[in-house]
Each structure stands twice: as C-alpha cells, then as structure tokens.
Amino acid sequence: MLYRVGVNDIESGNWVAWVLSLDGCFSRGATRDDAVEGVPEAVTAYFRWLQHHDPEFVPPHAVIEFIVAEDIRSLALPDGYYANAFFDDDRKPITADDAARVRRLLGYTRQDLISVISRISPEQMDRPIEAEVRGCLRRVIRHVASAEWWYCDRLDLAFDWEEMPSDTLSSLERTRAHFLTLLPRLVGDERLVEKRNEKWSARKLARRALWHEIVHTRQIERYLRAMN
C-alpha cells in the first residue's frame, strides 16, 4: 500500500514525517532523513496500536510503500517560535467519517495518557526533571491540556481561558470535552486562518491535536521509567 507523507521540521533538530492518510501516524527524527526512514516502522507500530485498542481491527497485509509528497521547512520567527507546516492535505474539509475516526482515535490517545498518569505517584508528579523546560510531570500534563485549548483558539473556537480549571486532570477533561463538542461543527469547515505567519484549518487542528497527545504521552512514560 502506498502512503503519502508530508515532512517538516517542528523545531531545530526535531523532524516529523506525517503519514497523511493515517490520522495520528508519524515518524520522528533528529534529521529529515531519520524521520523519513522511520515511516515503515511507524506505520507498522500504528497498526499494532490500533489493534491494541480494537482487537477486531485487521491491518492491511500489503507491503508498506510511501512517497514524500510534501517537504516543508518551518518558519523560525524572531521570538523562537516555529510556524509549522501547512500541507495541501490540510486544506481538505473534514468529512463526517473523518470526524468519527478522529473522535475514536482521541479516545485511544486519552486512554493511553490516563494509563500512564495513573502510575505516577504524588511525589513523582512534582519532582523536578533536569533539562525539562516545564520542570515536572504535572506541568507537562498541564501543557497537554493548554495546547489543545491553543489549537482550538487558532480557529477562534476555544472557550474563555478563565474557564480553564486549575486542577491538572480537570483541565485535561475540560479541554477534551470542548474539543469533542467541536468536531461535528468542523465537518465541512473550509476556513483557512493565518495567525503568527502560521496557517490553520480544521484538518490541521485535528492532525496536531492527535500528534501532540501521543508525543507527550510517550515523553511522560519515558520520564516515569527513568524515575522508577
């Protein structure tokens, strides 16, 4: 099976190869070539992940092939922020089937995150982590919630920030509940919004939300293993 891939540098030394037809599937690497070379393994791992959450899922048996359809360098802004790639694929409006699939996948990513969080002790939650910009696990988890709010805000669809709960787990629940209520409204949404030299659409919002929770769940799991 042939998959279309979009490649971009999220930040310096952090490249992502997005498998555009598989929501939530991506490969990462320190270089562009590293990210691209990891695509077949990422697709295989993605199918295993789907089977883990849905034992009835049958992965395709075809040989995994891919082409790099788009190769985009992110724009580094003066304040250090990277305006990340907007692929041609992101222009396509979300269909009702897309929304249902994203909703299901977000359920899987949240199950994974909560499973990891459930293994964190109160002491580990606030233990300082060397070289972690957010300082501790609690703040990393809080970042997952605030980033999902921020993604919604790119399309002017976020709730008032004053409504964000101060409790870490409650903030996760609040932002996810809001995101899920938005999904039906995003079906057929053709808007293209630009903020801080960065283009956004409904499809990009969904793509980034899935990616972000997966990335930080893996990060939290690595930190927890090191602590134990």
Write down all domains in the chain, each with its CATH number in brackets: 1-85 (3.30.2390), 87-228 (1.20.120.450)
pLDDT of amino acid 96: 98
pLDDT in tens, 9-40: 998 889 999 999 999 999 999 999 999 999 99
User: Where is 48: in which H helix or E strand?
Assistant: helix 39-53
pTM of the model: 0.96
pLDDT of amino acid 43: 98
Region for residue 186 given its phi and psi (left: phi exceeds 0; alpha: psi -120 to 50; beta: otherwise): alpha
Token pair for residue 193?
Answer: 């919004």
The residues near 93 (Cβ < 8 Å, ≥ 6 apart) are 187, 188, 189, 190, 202, 203
Rounded distance between C-alpha atoms, residue 141 and residue 180, angstroms: 19
pLDDT of amino acid 196: 87
